[in-house]
Amino acid sequence: MNPHAMAVVRHVENLVRLNDQLLSFAEQRYAAMASRDTARLETIMAEERKVAQAVFDQERARRQAVIHLARSLGRPVEHADAVKLSELVAWVDAPLRPRLAEMSESLRTVVDRIRRRNHAATLLAQQMLPHFSELLEILLAGGPAGVSYTAGGRATRGSAPCMSVLDMQA
C-alpha cells in the first residue's frame, strides 16, 4: 500500500473528527446565542477558534500529502493540492478506496451541517441586532433616542439628559 495514500486517509480522518468538533461548537454557539448567555458564548468561541486553526493546519497537511501522493503515482503535481476528495478516491489503492469514499461523504455531510447551523446563527444574530442597538442606546444615553425639536422646528434624535448607565467621561 502506498504510504502517501495512507497519509492522505489519515489526514482526512482527522479532518472529519475536527469538523465534527466544529459542528458541536456551532450548535453550542447557537444555543448560547439563543439563550443570550454571553459568558458561555465567549468560552465556546475561544475553543472554536483553536479547533478552526487545527482544521486549517490539518487541511494544509492533507494538501501536502496529496502532492506527495501525486508525485509517487506519476501524476502532475501543479494542481494536485486542489484535487477534490471525490476525485482522490480513484487515486488510492482498492483497500483504502471505500474508506476514503466514506470519509469524503462524512466530511461533506458535516461541513454542510456546519454551514446550515452557521446560517441559522447569522439569522438569529440579525434578529437580535435591533435589540442590541436599543440596549446600547440605553446604556450610553440613558434611554432609547426619541425625536426632539430644535428651536427652528427641526426634528432631531435626542435622549434623556444625564441618565446614562455608562459614564463615557471617565
Report if residue 23 sits inside a domain.
Answer: yes
CB atoms closer than 10 angstroms to residue 3: 11
Q: In which domain, by residue range, is 71 found? A: 3-128
Report if residue 70 sits inside a domain.
Answer: yes
Residue 53 C-alpha cell reads as 486553526
Report if residue 157 sits inside a domain.
Answer: no
- Mean pLDDT, the chain, rounded, equals 84
CATH number, domain at 79?
1.20.58
CB 36 within 8 A of CB 126: no
pTM of the shown model: 0.72
The total domain count for the chain is 1
Question: What does the pLDDT look like over 97-119, one tens digit per residue?
Answer: 999 999 999 999 999 999 999 99
Report if residue 51 sits inside a domain.
Answer: yes
Question: What does the pLDDT look like over 123-156, one tens digit per residue?
Answer: 888 887 776 666 666 666 655 555 566 667 776 6
DSSP-derived 3-state class of residue 147? strand
Residue 151 C-alpha cell reads as 428651536
The lowest-confidence range among 41-45, 46-50, 127-131 is 127-131
Report if residue 86 sits inside a domain.
Answer: yes
Report if residue 71 sits inside a domain.
Answer: yes
Report if residue 170 sits inside a domain.
Answer: no
What pLDDT, on a 0 to 100 scale, did the predictor assign at position 162? 46
**Among 63, 77, 86, 49, residue whose Cα is nearest residue 15:** 63
Report if residue 43 sits inside a domain.
Answer: yes
Give CA–CA dist 85/101, Å, rounded: 8
CB atoms closer than 10 angstroms to residue 162: 7
